[in-house]
Structure 1
Amino acid sequence: MTFAIQVEGLVKTYGDVRALDGLDLAARPGTVLGVLGPNGAGKTTSVRILATLAQADAGRATVCGLDVAREPRRVREVISVTGQFAGLDDQLSGKENLVFIARLLGASRKQARDRADELLERFELTDAASRAAETFSGGMRRRLDLAASLMRTPQVLFLDEPTNGLDPASRNQLWEVVGELVDAGTTVLLTTQYLEEADRLADDLVIIDGGRSIATGSPSELKRSMGAADLDEVFLSLTGRSVTVDTGKSEDDNELETVG
């Protein structure tokens, strides 16, 4: 099988911290791969490397068959990524942020405006389109950041804890958008601490701890193999810890930019 995302033996250190310690994972084309792990497990570090925002110390990673270390420019042409923190220009309005990104991606002015209007409506931000981003609430900024990552339809979309700080209605909106993208053929790598989110969206899961993969399989396969009623039990059994949602940075994880 040709994987849309493939990681083999990835190693990354930050000083004395070994963020990734031989990580392996793979995502099938047109599916959602959920990546679960406690804070400090290396989730964001792996996304940064796959998105060409950081370089691994060892190992190999490919996206759509492209080597992320050797062909970063080509990788950036087929991906979008949204991190845990909004990569917006506070002085620009919501619509101006989106149009600016679209223009950078080569869209005409009309294409950029039309796509911006479409996504502002999709994420219920039309009424705030002319307001400066600095006036947006935290949840609104997350929705605008997500819209920015979708100004073009990527072959691979990286979502790093995208629903942190979102209310339930906005979270459901994002889930619907992810479903639509996957139906259209996009591959999604989703890191999350919401196990309900992973159970609902992920076709396959990889659970990592200490920078290594410790379990892989579909949500149902993992629950069945562990004799667990839900993913909370699976996670607790494998890591000895429960998941706690934290909207701040992990110890070894760095802020992501928005690419795409």
Structure 2
Amino acid sequence: MAPILTTHDLARTFETKRGTVEAVRGIDMAVEPGEILGFLGPNGAGKSTTLRMLTTLLAPTRGSATIAGHDLAGEPEAVRRVIGYVAQSSGVAPDELVRHELVFQGRLYRLPRAEAEARADELAAELDLTELLDRKCAELSGGQKRRLDIALALIHRPEVLFLDEPTTGLDPGSRADLWDLIRRIRGQQGTTVFLTTHYLDEADELSDRLIIVDDGRIAAEGTQRELKTRYGGAEDATLQDTFIAITGRGPRKDDLAPVAL
């Protein structure tokens, strides 16, 4: 089966007062259908810039990419129809009802009203939002808002779901619930998940395969077992030590915080 996402020499530079900044220096990767890909790297490695390019929010300086058979540069509207995107911060309107947000999002993707309403009910049931449909978004907890963000991204049945640090700021219980939700999305719908995260335990638990970027380039890629054996010295090495070995520097303090499940 052909990859659902490919990039070739994908790069982005920025012009600043201090000169040219090469945020992404040429990314080549392929993501398989139904895969959960963990996309990791230290701050400033190029993760967010890569994600913004793949979601059509930022034009590449050079290179190419295809998503579900659509060319990123030549068919951006077609790309947007087949992807869902959950940003780091929630974009819901505080004073709107959860139901209205879901139906409105469906209508933005040109679903007929009846279909948008049915899809809202379907996702609410799948993501444990049914009892919250008639609440204002401002009344939701952090974990509930993240589930709503994911529901909004899934309303049009995307083939690829981009999650940008989806559990940042959540308590341990909400993080564990969201992990289960991501697994269910892949398992029930076959959705490909592209996950960026700063939490190494999260990447280890959720991902089928990891790509680690540093200084705008891919520093390593493979399954957790492959990377731990290759760079950590043993299959039972920690992902934290493996990450440090690959990037030559330690993760943020947040990466090291234990998570109680």
Residue aligning to 2:208: 203
Pick from 247, 250, 254: which aligns with 1:242? 250
TM-superposed deviation, 1:78: 1.1
Range that drifts further, 138-147 or 59-68: 138-147
Is 1:217 the equivalent of 2:222?
yes
Residue aligning to 1:258: none
TM-superposed deviation, 1:191: 0.6
Paired residues of 2:11 and 2:26 also in contact (CA < 8 A): yes
Is 1:5 the equivalent of 2:9?
no
Indicate the SS of the match to 1:232. Answer: helix
- In the alignment, the residues of structure 2 paired with residue 168 and residue 116 of structure 1 have an alpha-carbon distance, to the nearest angstrom, of 27
Matched residue pairs, number? 247
Residue aligning to 1:254: none
Residue aligning to 1:88: 92
* Greater RCO (CA < 8 Å, at least 6 residues apart): 1
Residue aligning to 1:72: 76
Distance 1:182 1:121, change over 3 A: closer
Matches within 5 A, 1:26-65: 26-65=30-69
Range that drifts further, 9-18 or 47-56: 9-18
TM-superposed deviation, 1:54: 1.0
Paired residues of 1:3 and 1:65 also in contact (CA < 8 A): no
Computing the radius of gyration from Cα coordinates, the structure with the larger value is 2
Q: Which runs of 4+ in 1 moved over 6 A?
A: none
- In the alignment, the residues of structure 1 paired with residue 14 and residue 139 of structure 2 have an alpha-carbon distance, to the nearest angstrom, of 35
- In the alignment, the residues of structure 1 paired with residue 90 and residue 44 of structure 2 have an alpha-carbon distance, to the nearest angstrom, of 20
TM-superposed deviation, 1:154: 1.3
- In the alignment, the residues of structure 1 paired with residue 186 and residue 139 of structure 2 have an alpha-carbon distance, to the nearest angstrom, of 32
Is 1:166 the equivalent of 2:166?
no
Amino acid at match of 1:236: I
TM-superposed deviation, 1:48: 1.1
Write the deviation string for residues 47-72 of structure 1: whole angstroms up to 9, x where unpaired.
11111111000111111222101111
Matches within 5 A, 1:16-27: 16=16, 17-27=21-31
- In the alignment, the residues of structure 1 paired with residue 15 and residue 80 of structure 2 have an alpha-carbon distance, to the nearest angstrom, of 27
Amino acid at match of 2:247: T
TM-superposed deviation, 1:110: 3.4
TM-superposed deviation, 1:246: 6.4
Identity of aligned residues (%): 46
Amino acid at match of 1:224: T
- In the alignment, the residues of structure 2 paired with residue 149 and residue 112 of structure 1 have an alpha-carbon distance, to the nearest angstrom, of 13
Amino acid at match of 2:213: I
Write the deviation string for residues 69-88 of structure 1: whole angstroms up to 9, x where unpaired.
11111111111111101121
- In the alignment, the residues of structure 2 paired with residue 95 and residue 74 of structure 1 have an alpha-carbon distance, to the nearest angstrom, of 26
- In the alignment, the residues of structure 2 paired with residue 128 and residue 32 of structure 1 have an alpha-carbon distance, to the nearest angstrom, of 28
TM-superposed deviation, 1:90: 2.5
Paired residues of 1:139 and 1:165 also in contact (CA < 8 A): no
Matches within 5 A, 1:103-182: 103-182=107-186
Write the deviation string for residues 117-163 of structure 1: whole angstroms up to 9, x where unpaired.
34334444444432332343433322221221121321111111111
- In the alignment, the residues of structure 1 paired with residue 112 and residue 195 of structure 2 have an alpha-carbon distance, to the nearest angstrom, of 30
Residue aligning to 1:252: none
Q: Which runs of 5+ in 1 are unaligned?
A: 248-260
- In the alignment, the residues of structure 2 paired with residue 52 and residue 63 of structure 1 have an alpha-carbon distance, to the nearest angstrom, of 11
Paired residues of 1:13 and 1:20 also in contact (CA < 8 A): yes
Q: Which runs of 5+ in 2 are unaligned?
A: 256-261
Indicate the SS of the match to 1:15. Answer: strand
- In the alignment, the residues of structure 2 paired with residue 54 and residue 196 of structure 1 have an alpha-carbon distance, to the nearest angstrom, of 29
Distance 1:163 1:135, change over 3 A: same
Is 1:14 the equivalent of 2:14?
yes
